[in-house]
Amino acid sequence: MLRGVSLRVTRPRVAVLSAVHEHPHADTDSIIGVVRDDLGDVSHQAVYDVLRALTDTGLVRRIQPTGSVARYEARVGDNHHHAVCRTCGAIADVDCAVGEAPCLTASDDAGFAIDEAEVIYWGQCQHCRNEPVRPIEIRRVHP
């Protein structure tokens, strides 16, 4: 995959790309954790740099729902959307209706050639819906 986008194959790049494949929607800190388990000592900066290179070349997609840190995923190019839990921040993939970008027709495109639509469905994940939330827990989750 790295060679396909003309990136030199390095151990950190392979490790970060595998981590993103294995942990969809992981944030940078979790990716650093996984990569360190794999490679030993790797600097934060090195992982940030690799994530930027992978995102710039389209191997990895970066999403950042409001109020969340950036998350990364390897499922690219299909214009899928995300459901985000307001309580715990869990993220799930939601297939787009037609399977290709932009998958939604803007009511007024304002003259733009629109090539992508990004939708975030906000709500509560199944786990949080089953868990009666006590006020003290709300304060802890939203300090």
Burial class (CB in 10 A: 0-12, 13-18, 19+), 92: middle
**Rounded Cα–Cα distance for residues 133 and 93 (Å):** 24
Among 15, 32, 54, 128, binds Zn ion (CB under 5 A): 128
**Quick check: 124 and 85 in contact, CB under 8 A?**
yes
Identify the residue among 27, 38, 49, 93 touching Zn ion (CB under 5 A): 93
Q: Which of 53, 84, 85, 96 binds Zn ion (CB under 5 A)?
A: 85
Minimum Å gap between C-beta 109 and Zn ion is 25
Q: Would you say 7 and 57 are in contact if contact means Cβ atoms under 8 Å apart? A: yes
Residue 88, interface with Zn ion (CB under 5 A)?
yes
Binding site for Zn ion (CB under 5 A): 73, 85, 87-88, 90, 93, 125, 128
